[in-house]
Structure formats: structure tokens, C-alpha cells
Structure 1
Amino acid sequence: MIRSYEKTDLEEMVRIWYEASVIAHFFIPASFWASQKSTMKEKYLPLAENFIFEEEGQISGFISLVGEHVCALFIAPEMQGRGIGRALLEHAKTLKGKLSLKVYKENERAFHFYKKCGFVAASEEVDEYTGCVQILMEWEQVR
């Protein structure tokens, strides 16, 4: 089930974000992600509109939105490939008429996932924190 997040979810959300980030972003040192844990917990996640995918009391993943921008979509590594990311993204689409997000160019798996979900590449930029190229992707509801 998908539900709104509660403050008690933050620790698990950060764990999922960190573990999934290290695997998906193998081209960025794990130490970078480790250095961002407290900022994610204390600043970024609390400022976003967060939705949790939960099964049998266990958090499997989450999506974070700021307006129409998907700031985070992370699934616990052991739960990936089961449609959870797609379900969270579809939930966000029902809430918003259009969405945007950034994905690292080297994260080909995520880039192809978003393309399959109807997003199109709009532009590229270098991430100031990692020095890696990010692709801005956009989705808009067909009217």
C-alpha cells in the first residue's frame, strides 16, 4: 500500500536511500552518500511531500516530491524489480499533471526505467556536488 510518510519513517527512508544510492550510483564514492545521510534526514526529506510503499509493516520504498519535481524515488535493493517504483511513480502522476526529475547519465538502468514510464529527456547539466552529468527528464499528462 502507498501512504503518506510519518516522522517515524525517516530512519528507514534514509537507510533505503543510502543503500540504493551506493548501488545505483557506483560511479560516485560511497563516502559521498554517507556524508549526506544527516542532511537527508534533517533537511531534504522533511521538506518534501513523501509517500511510502509499505508491505506487511515493512517500508519497501518511497518517493519524494517538491511541487511537480520528483526529488527522490528509492526502493530497497532487495525489493527492486517488483513494480514498487512504478507504483510510486504512478501515484505521483495521479497527484500532479506533470512531473520532472533528474537522473545521472551513468545510471542507465534508472534512465531507461523513466523512459518506459513516459518521461522524456529535456536537457543535461553537471551536478555541482558530484561533478557528474545529470539528465533532466519530464512527463506531462496527455489531455
Structure 2
Amino acid sequence: MTSTVALRPYRAADEDAAIALWQETWQLAYPAIDFAARVPWWRERWRSELVPKAEVIVAECEGELAGFVTIDASGYLDQLVVSPQHWGSPLATQLVDAAKQRSPRGITLLVNKDNARAIRFYKRSGFVEAGEDVNPTSGRPVLRMAWVP
């Protein structure tokens, strides 16, 4: 049986679920980092930087938040988060497609260079490597990636 996933705009009532999902997914991707300790920082960033400055599209499945993507007016995709229960499903592609619809002139993003799974996904989604950088918060090396229609 396949569950139906619905995409919709973010609502303020989604905040706790979105932050918990962010913590869960990043903790799985980088188990050596204590993401629980980063939640207060992330909540402040979520409230002050992402929600006011980007469109947030959430994916809901059976009443639960299953993922989200953020895309700002410049076409910068800051976050793509998908519940581990939906890894390997079409959900991430649906969220990226929603971001592409909202930014039809192109999208840029940064992805950790050691996140091979994400890099493969973005390449399959039509993104190309567009340079290298260092994340100013974590100090980790990142790839700049771009999608140009």
C-alpha cells in the first residue's frame, strides 16, 4: 500500500515537527555531531532567516510532516529535508520539483562534499557542480551546485 504525500505551504504550526525532522535527518547523516545541542541555534535560524526570507514547502503524509524544502527569491535552496522513512522514495524529487516551479530561472545550493548520497541525488535532479566553498558555520568543505533550466 502506497501512502499519499501532499505538498503544501508551511504553516507556523509546523515549526516543531520541521525542527525535529531536521535534527533527526542530520543526526543520521552525521552521527558524530550532537545535533540536539544545535536545536536552539537552528530554531533561531529557522525563525529569523529561513521562514521570513524563503518559501517553505512541506510534504505531509498521513498527517505527519515527511519533509520540506526552502527556496528563497534569489533561487537559493537552503534546506531539503526528507524523513528517513521516505529515503529512496520519490519525495525528495517532488520537493525539488516544487522548488524548481517556484524558481524557474534556476536554483543554487551548497552541499557538504562528504555527503555523497545528496550529491548523487542533486546530479540526478539536473544539478551540476559549480565550484567549491567552505561552510562558514561548520567549516566543512562544500560544493556549490546549480540547476539552470
TM over 0.5, shorter chain: yes
Aligned to 1:88: 95
Q: What is the aligned-residue RMSD (CA, Å)? A: 1.7
- Percent of aligned pairs sharing the same letter: 28
Could you tell me how far apart the structure 2 residues matched to 1:58 and 1:134 are? Answer: 31
Closer, same or farther in 2 for the Cα pair 1:137/1:61, shift >3 Å? same
Hey, what's the Cα distance between the residues in 2 that align with 1:10 and 1:72?
14
| 1:63 aligned onto 2:65 | no
Letter in 1 for 2:90: G
TM-superposed deviation, 1:46: 1.8
Equivalent of 1:77 in 84, 89, 97: 84
From 51, 56, 68, the counterpart of 2:57: 51
Alignment of 1:127-138 (within 5 A): 127-138=135-146
> Are the counterparts in 1 of residues 134 and 140 from structure 2 also a CA contact under 8 Å?
yes
What is aligned with 1:117?
Answer: 125
State the distance in 2 between where 1:125 and 1:20 align.
23
Give the corresponding residue for 1:2. Answer: 7
Cα drift, residue 73 of structure 1: 0.4
Distance 1:63 1:69 in 2: 11
Corresponding residue of 1:38? 43
- The size of the alignment, in residue pairs, is 141
Unaligned runs of 5+ in 2: 1-5
Please state if 1:102 is matched with 2:110.
yes
2:92 is paired with a residue whose SS is helix
> Does the 8 Å contact 1:124/1:135 carry over to 2?
yes
Give TM-score scaled by structure 1 length.
0.89
Is the partner of 2:117 in helix, strand or coil?
Answer: helix
Measure the CA separation in 1 of the matches of 2:141 and 2:33. Answer: 12
* SS of aligned partner of 1:128: coil
CA displacement, residues 11-66 of structure 1 (integer Å, 9 cap, x when unaligned): 10001111111222346453664453322442233222100111221110000111
Matched residue SS, 2:68: strand
